[in-house]
Structure 1
Amino acid sequence: MDSFEYNSNPSRVVFGSGTIKKVPEELSRANVSKPFLLSTPQQVSHIDLLKGVLGDVVSGVFTEATMHTPVEVTERALEQLKSSGADSIISIGGGSTVGLGKALSIRTGLFHLTIPTTYAGSEVTPILGETDAGRKTTRSDPKILPSAVVYDVDLTMTLPVGLTATSGVNAIAHAVEALYARNTNPVINLLAQEGVKALASSLPVLISEPSSQEARSSALYGAWLCGVCLGSVGMSIHHKLCHTLGGSFNLPHSETHTIVLPHALSYNAPKVPEAIKALASTLPGNEGDAIRGLNILLQKLKVERGLKALGMQESDIDKAADIAVSNPYWNPRPIERDPIRELIRRAWAGEEARADL
């Protein structure tokens, strides 16, 4: 066996059905009592639910969390947080809300408990991506990691089918890149394969049976494992491209990840045969071909395959390629502009991924 290093992230996880009722217990465990609540404008109902659980201890509420965590939004929330007298932060929602919670926590040092309602995985990573002046930057710090995560399957039962699919594929992307990460290790490989397997089996069920409690539970479990992968090892071309596209062209996060993933995998495939083999074992009906397996899964999920449908202009392809190659980063295959441009063009056009990049 090759030498490796493994670090586990010390967040506390509470998983189950109806677990939102355990939030007061988790706050008491952390010796905090005046939480500041965060959500997006679309998830105010979750705030109301949380208020019902917490009672009159809530110190304040901010419901303007936005995708890609714009710095100006964080600054507005920070001002309200400081004036509220809060001693803790609770974020409830998807990656946008979790990201805002992280941004506030790293700036204040306050205890951060998060309650995910999608499959983003951000809740178990020490990574924060923020957008300022049209550029998205990412940093990693153990202090960014939320201290506690409450997974309540019940809160995912009404997740729209479209977001269920793209959020789940976004989670799969974390595991895919973990399999060929420079600092991957046997533990993360096991988590990655188990996470992809759980999601690849449950997501197609949820397209036709969105109220399946069993499939919802399996998907949330898989998303947790894939998120752990994201938070434990380095990411490569897929995540770099998605940050470029999302931050620079304001494209929706999970939909962008869903479209780019099979193309990014096809770019790296020639250099990571063992990772491709491991991934293929988790995807049904692929005949040993992981790229084919992803194409089949996306067909089953009936997701959008082209960035142009998300609002990206054809004239942005060259700009995106320039940004993607402007800051060197590790990737199993060297980053070369021409094939990267072709990768982005195929993703823009909505073509199926193929192994000839």
Structure 2
Amino acid sequence: MLKFEHTTLGQRVLFGTGQAAKHVAAEISRLGVTRPMVIAGAPERALAEVATAEIVPALWWDEVIQHVPAEVAEKARAAAAIESVDVIVCVGGGSTTGLAKAVALTTGLPVIAVPTTYAGSEATNVWGLTEDRTKTTGTDPRVLPTTVVYDADLSKTLPVGLSVASGLNGMAHCVDSLWAPNADPINQALALEGARALGLALRGIVANPDDMDAREQALYGCYLAAVSFASAGSGLHHKICHVLGGTFDLPHAQTHATVLPYVLAFNAPAVPELAGRLAIALGGEASTHDPADAAVAALRELYSAVQAPARLADYGFTEAGIPEAVQRVVKAAPASNPTAVTEQNITALLTEALTGATPMVATTPAR
């Protein structure tokens, strides 16, 4: 029997290439606000000026650090209070959106998110803060951006390598959403369509970085990925990456991209029907004999085609960090994960991800 409970988050999405400034100004007018705080790191300043060309910011904030250190969030909140800010406009990737969410978490200010990458944070009610080498996440309706403005022009200068890593971060949202704690048929459907769109988009961007159709598809795919993730919740993949990012300061997108094939190989045998559907979404062949192998092979083929990140060692993680990471992951792992989590199998997973070994489909019994 089909039985589930699904919550759809309320959010306005404005999608149009070359329309960011027009859409941001229209939202400022619609919301009746007059003192916007624009959050954009120094590298995104030029893009932010394009996106906010038709409004007058009351405050520019450019201190943006990945994983949102708690002290940076406090400084931004204080600045917003001093300037009597009544809305936040964030222009950038996941770290920028994350800081805007951190300000909204305690102030209740509405957020207009203008993504320049494929992170997907803009479509979730998930916040994250890092303090004392520990990244804490939670959900709160106050942090869900009121409006998302998607404009592929703002992503056309994103380097191919970072486009790939960011898009695969979105792909991780899709895969995790298939069996995360609150997974249901609706977010699974969104996740599979998101995976299909992202796979095609990344191939297109690698083949031609100026392919705006591909960049639009990447934004479309990352939005579906994020919507499914917001409903399904954080699965094992995200728990692992939160540990690697918050505790070891590994780069967000590259870490997600690197870890994903290993978590898929770990969980896929326990959910063969979903693995088979994912294989098809990624352009692979359906296999009634071994759908887990088919899914892992399809993802591996995509990774080869787009020259995806492959080793955690390339981003500063070392063998010495594995024991602490394992302890933290085992403690945070969802009880509902399809494959039972142990210190032994998480050690093996992180060791493979560290060295870039070919992901092997797990033989660990399902629950």
Which interval holds the TM-score relative to the shorter structure? over 0.9
State how far apart, in whole Å, the 2-side matches of 1:118 and 1:59 are: 25
Residue 213 of structure 1 deviates from its aligned partner by 1.0
Identity %: 39
State the AA in 1 paired with 2:362. Answer: D
State how far apart, in whole Å, the 2-side matches of 1:274 and 1:30 are: 45
Structure 1-normalised TM-score?
A: 0.96
8 Å Cα contact 1:34-1:86 kept in structure 2: yes
- The one of 282, 291, 296 aligned to 2:296: 291
8 Å Cα contact 2:48-2:91 kept in structure 1: yes
Q: Indicate yes or no: 2:16 matched with 1:16.
A: yes
Which residue in the other structure is 1:174 paired with?
173
Which residue in the other structure is 1:355 paired with?
361
8 Å Cα contact 1:17-1:153 kept in structure 2: yes
Are the structure 2 counterparts of residues 165 and 60 from structure 1 closer, same or farther at C-alpha, using a change threshold of 3 Å?
Answer: same
Which residue in the other structure is 2:161 paired with?
162
Which residue in the other structure is 1:123 paired with?
122
Which residue in the other structure is 1:36 paired with?
37
For 1:137, what is the secondary structure of its paired residue? Answer: strand
Q: Indicate yes or no: 2:313 matched with 1:312.
A: no
State how far apart, in whole Å, the 1-side matches of 2:16 and 2:277 are: 29
Residue 79 of structure 1 deviates from its aligned partner by 1.6
State how far apart, in whole Å, the 2-side matches of 1:249 and 1:204 are: 30
Which residue in the other structure is 2:226 paired with?
227
State the AA in 2 paired with 1:349. Answer: T
Superimposed CA distance per residue, residues 84-109 of structure 1 (whole angstroms, 9 cap, x where no aligned partner): 12111000000000000000011111
For 1:318, what is the secondary structure of its paired residue? Answer: helix
For 1:169, what is the secondary structure of its paired residue? Answer: helix
Q: Indicate yes or no: 2:241 matched with 1:236.
A: no
Superimposed CA distance per residue, residues 278-330 of structure 1 (whole angstroms, 9 cap, x where no aligned partner): 10111124564101111111111112200001011111111111111124523
Please give the root-mean-square deviation of Cα atoms over the aligned residues, in Å.
1.3
State the AA in 2 paired with 1:186. Answer: P
Which residue in the other structure is 1:58 paired with?
57
Which residue in the other structure is 1:218 paired with?
217
Q: 5+ residue gaps in structure 2?
A: 288-293
Residue 179 of structure 1 deviates from its aligned partner by 1.3
Superimposed CA distance per residue, residues 142-176 of structure 1 (whole angstroms, 9 cap, x where no aligned partner): 22211111011111111110111010011011111
State the AA in 2 paired with 1:121. Answer: G
For 2:189, what is the secondary structure of its paired residue? Answer: helix
For 1:13, what is the secondary structure of its paired residue? Answer: strand
Residue 46 of structure 1 deviates from its aligned partner by 1.9
State how far apart, in whole Å, the 2-side matches of 1:97 and 1:41 are: 11
Q: 5+ residue gaps in structure 1?
A: none
Number of residues of Structure 1 aligned to a counterpart in Structure 2: 355
Structure 2-normalised TM-score?
A: 0.94
State how far apart, in whole Å, the 2-side matches of 1:200 and 1:260 are: 17
For 1:53, what is the secondary structure of its paired residue? Answer: coil
- The one of 334, 337, 343 aligned to 2:340: 334
Which residue in the other structure is 1:303 paired with?
308
Residue 189 of structure 1 deviates from its aligned partner by 1.8
Which residue in the other structure is 2:183 paired with?
184
State how far apart, in whole Å, the 2-side matches of 1:325 and 1:72 are: 28
Which residue in the other structure is 2:350 paired with?
344
For 1:36, what is the secondary structure of its paired residue? Answer: strand
8 Å Cα contact 1:286-1:292 kept in structure 2: no
Are the structure 2 counterparts of residues 79 and 106 from structure 1 closer, same or farther at C-alpha, using a change threshold of 3 Å?
Answer: same
State how far apart, in whole Å, the 2-side matches of 1:75 and 1:103 are: 9
State how far apart, in whole Å, the 1-side matches of 2:225 and 2:52 are: 30
8 Å Cα contact 2:25-2:52 kept in structure 1: no
8 Å Cα contact 2:269-2:362 kept in structure 1: no
